[in-house]
Amino acid sequence: MLHLRVAEPMRECEYSQISTRSSTPMETPYKKRTPKRRKWQAFPGRNKFYCNGRIMMARQTGVFYLTLVLILITSGLFFAFDCPFLSMQITPAIPVIGGVLFVFVLGTLFRTSFSDPGVLPRATPDEAADLERQIDVANGSSSGYRSPPRTREVVINGQTVKLKYCFTCKIFRPPRASHCSLCDNCVERFDHHCPWVGNCVGKRNYRFFYMFILSLSFLTIFIFAFVITHVILRSHRYGFLNTLKDSPASVLEVVVCFFSVWSIVGLSGFHTYLISSNQTTNEDIKGSWSSKRGKGNYNPYSYGNIFTNCCAALCGPLPPSLIDRRGFVQSDTPQPLPPTNGITMYGSTQSQSHMCDQAQCIQSTKLVLQAAATPLLQSEPVILTDEAFLPGRTSLGGPCSGALPLGGHPTPPTSTPKLSCDNDMLPFRNEQSNGLRHHHTDGGHHHFLTPEEAPSPPGMLPCGSPLGHSHTIQGFYNPASQDSLHEDSVRGLVKLSSV
């Protein structure tokens, strides 16, 4: 009887030492840190953001730059060519007043253009689905074709106001809100989209817009009036033609101010009327509160007093921004946890069913990997004997003696044909039995041979199988080849479990 002790090489094939490098989430227990994205970077509307989200503008900003250039050029020419003469001939307060108006105009322009006008956040997928279910329940459209009305009605100060559904933002817009087609956003208390300021005008920047056009009206009138004064005073001294030749900038200022003052002053007057009646441009154009719609139609937002309406529009508290454009985007991916008992555990996901499926997948993968790694964890010596096989033990070659047992576990079926080598193995047993079998004394103790001490059987080529292609004991068992074989098996199992 031949006993080969191969427990020591087997200890090197521990399951924990197998490297299963793959692109699956089980490769490493921790994910690489990715830089967090701010909400303005994932903003769904058509807007431009600058200074890390602090500045918010519409995408079409060309007219805004034209407005800025006209203000800067006109004011610059006035301070450079007219103010020196006027401060000497009339009063030095003229450039001071002009400078204050100029700074106020630029400040309100930038505040209107760079701020959030009152954009309403869009509904999340869960909120949109819940709203759709509410609409279905309210309209009783559980079956069949449905055409639910996408409006709701609320009563404000005795007046019925309809809330329209926005198919883009998936929300019912609050009263006085509207969807801007240029910015693709729903804006609270939407007034209009002004290309001259490069932004929508709504609840959060309307007061700055009104102060901008009002101060710009004063600045335009101020420059126009004092440029005319400058031209008249110089004409009395040097003549009209000589004055035009000496100061051509004054002529340019008069032309620009003359054609712009009418529109600016008219716009300021129109918005003064809107503020005094607590209306918006959108409501006035549509005639939402016009008496032509009926005798009982009136503006429910008016306080009934001009002074109170103006204070409510210009002096009320400024509402906060609802989109939090500088906040961080919350990731919906599960966060991995540290490994436990050699198995990578992952955090819970948004849905309970997904979490249960993931836990079952991990548990089944654990059992499969342990079953696949069992042959590598065996520490029993491999014994080659010509005795009868024990019940429940199956060898690679069927009835062939000298095949390796798989630690008491049945061999998985393979495509290799069953080896039948009873006749071929008989010469080897008879000829080598005397040379390889040792007499056992002292109570029948076995003598274990190391792979170096084992002789090489000269004539054993059992059935042409790969186990018989070597003339040494390494042909029966090669730890390195078995290690690579099980490593490939585990790698394939890990890839299958990730699917």
Using alpha carbons, select from 37, 22, 34, 25 the residue that is nearest to residue 336: 25
For the residues of 231-247, what is the DSSP string, one character each?
HHHHHHHH-HHHHHHH-
162 contacts 152 by C-beta, under 8 angstroms: yes
The set of catalytic residues is: 194
Confidence of residue 242 (pLDDT cuts 50, 70, 90): confident
For the ranges 12-26, 38-52, 266-280, the lowest mean pLDDT is seen at 12-26
Residue with tokens 């193995």: 425
Higher pLDDT, 370 or 136: 136
Separation between Cα atoms, residue 128 and residue 322, nearest integer Å: 18
226 contacts 82 by C-beta, under 8 angstroms: yes
Q: Is a pLDDT exceeding 90 seen at residue 180?
A: yes
Rounded average pLDDT over 184-205:
95
Rounded average pLDDT over 157-176:
92
Rounded average pLDDT over 369-395:
46
Burial class (CB in 10 A: 0-12, 13-18, 19+), 153: exposed
pLDDT at 360: 62
Confidence of residue 240 (pLDDT cuts 50, 70, 90): confident
Q: Is a pLDDT exceeding 50 seen at residue 7?
A: no
Separation between Cα atoms, residue 202 and residue 211, nearest integer Å: 14
Share the mean pLDDT of the chain: 73
pLDDT at 441: 40
82-128 pLDDT tens trace: 999 999 989 999 999 999 999 999 999 999 999 999 999 999 999 98
pLDDT at 263: 94
Rounded average pLDDT over 406-434:
42
Q: Is a pLDDT exceeding 70 seen at residue 47?
A: yes
What six digits make up the tokens of 273? 């009327």
Q: Is a pLDDT exceeding 90 seen at residue 205?
A: yes
Q: Is a pLDDT exceeding 80 seen at residue 352?
A: no
pLDDT at 293: 78
For the ranges 124-133, 186-195, 392-401, 482-491, the lowest mean pLDDT is seen at 392-401
Percent of the chain predicted with pLDDT > 70: 57
Burial class (CB in 10 A: 0-12, 13-18, 19+), 24: middle
Contacts of 400 (CB under 8 A, 6+ apart): 419, 420, 421, 422, 425, 462, 463
Higher pLDDT, 269 or 397: 269
Q: How many CA atoms lie within 13 A of 399 on its CB side?
A: 7
What six digits make up the tokens of 288? 């939402």
DSSP state of 82: I
What six digits make up the tokens of 469? 């292609």
120-158 pLDDT tens trace: 999 999 998 988 888 877 766 555 555 556 788 899 998
**Amino acid code (one letter) for 447:** H
Roughly what angle, to the nearest 10 degrees, separates helices 206-238 and 248-277? 150
Percent of the chain predicted with pLDDT > 90: 42
Q: Is a pLDDT exceeding 60 seen at residue 75?
A: yes
pLDDT at 371: 60
pLDDT at 33: 66
The CA-CA-CA angle for residues 303, 308, 314, to 5°, reads 115
468-491 pLDDT tens trace: 444 444 444 454 555 555 566 556
For the ranges 23-32, 229-238, 255-264, the lowest mean pLDDT is seen at 23-32
pLDDT at 30: 52
Q: Distance of alpha carbon 5 from its chain centroid, rounded?
A: 59
DSSP state of 78: I
**Amino acid code (one letter) for 487:** E
For the ranges 33-47, 89-103, 191-205, 464-478, the lowest mean pLDDT is seen at 464-478
DSSP state of 39: G
Q: Is a pLDDT exceeding 50 seen at residue 395?
A: no
Confidence of residue 301 (pLDDT cuts 50, 70, 90): very high
For the ranges 31-40, 54-63, 203-212, 432-441, the lowest mean pLDDT is seen at 432-441
342 contacts 16 by C-beta, under 8 angstroms: yes
Q: How many CA atoms lie within 13 A of 105 on its CB side?
A: 24
Using alpha carbons, select from 131, 133, 175 the residue that is nearest to residue 154: 175
Residue with tokens 């490493």: 28
Please name the helix (run of DSSP H) or strand (run of DSSP E) that holds residue 425, with its range, or none.
Answer: helix 422-436
Using alpha carbons, select from 377, 445, 373, 456 the residue that is nearest to residue 7: 377
Confidence of residue 15 (pLDDT cuts 50, 70, 90): very low
345 contacts 353 by C-beta, under 8 angstroms: no
Separation between Cα atoms, residue 198 and residue 231, nearest integer Å: 35
pLDDT at 399: 41
171 forms bridges with which residues in the sheet?
A: 166
